[in-house]
Structure formats: structure tokens, C-alpha cells
Amino acid sequence: MNLINRFGGRIWDPWREICQMQNAMSRMLAGAGSQNGLGQRDFPPVNLFVNEHDLLLTLELAGIDPECVDVTVTDDTVTIRGDRPAEAVQTGASFHRRERPTGPFARAVQLPFAVDPSKTEAKYERGVLAIQLGRPESQKPKRVKVTTA
């Protein structure tokens, strides 16, 4: 649900916040006991978009070499693996702040339905990885014609 204010932008939407919190809770519980357990956010974060023909998965993954990212699609799961090397620091230098996550990462994202792996395209731009996944014909929404008796 989007509330639009009179400037045309989005104003504070409590439902959106609740949905985000619910997602965060599910992830926390799903990951409890594993390495990426309580309190730690998975890296990289993903957003999932849909339209009639495709799914679009976007990941915030700044400063990586696209050659070092491995995207695999099996049925309804997309796995993204890669490595984000730490910044090379000259000897004698010291960190005052180190907030940016580094090191190897892997994320497996379960999609709402199985996709056609041959219709997959991945694009890396401005630090955002976008993976477009095609819906197979059987998964596309169909219009049903209503007839009178």
C-alpha cells in the first residue's frame, strides 16, 4: 500500500514498516543457529520485483568485480556467490572506521515459482546487481474470458 502525499512522494506508511519488520523477523528466525543468525543482516541485501513476464532480483553490491560473481539458477532458487576483497591498506595505516562488509558471501533466494534458466540475464551497474528471470509459459498469468450462460 502506498500513500501518496500532495507532493507526489511517499509519506510514512506504517504498513510498509510492519512488512519490513515481519521480513526481518522471518529472516532472523530462519537463520537462528546458523552463522548468519540473530542480529546479523545477510549480505548482500536483495529486493524482488515481479511483472507479468519476469522476476527481477536486485542486490546492493557496491565495488565488486562482476567477473568474480557467480549466479546459478535451479528451479525456484537463485544462488549468488562472490567475494568482496578488503581494501588494500599500506603499511603503517590504521582504520578509524570499518563498517563496509568484506569477504566471501553467498545468498540463496527462493523465488515464488520455478523460472526458466535459459531466460536469465544479469547486469551490474553502479554497484547494483540486477538479475532478470523469465517466467515459464506455464507460470504466466492467464486471462479468463467470462461468458454468459
* Of the candidates 97, 102, 90, the residue with the CA atom closest to the CA atom of residue 62: 102
Q: Which of 3, 50, 68, 108 binds other proteins (CB under 8 A)?
A: 50
Contact flag: residue 13 with other proteins (CB under 8 A): no
* Of the candidates 66, 56, 69, the residue with the CA atom closest to the CA atom of residue 109: 56
Q: How far is CA 67 from CA 32, 70, 71, in A?
A: 32, 8, 11
Q: Which of 126, 142, 143, 145 binds other proteins (CB under 8 A)?
A: 126
Give the residue with the Cβ less far from other proteins, 110 or 118: 110
* Of the candidates 123, 147, 146, 144, the residue with the CA atom closest to the CA atom of residue 133: 123
Q: Footprint of other proteins on this chain (CB under 8 A)?
A: 5, 7-11, 19-20, 23, 27, 40-42, 45-52, 54, 56, 58, 60-64, 87, 89-90, 92-101, 112, 124, 126-128, 130
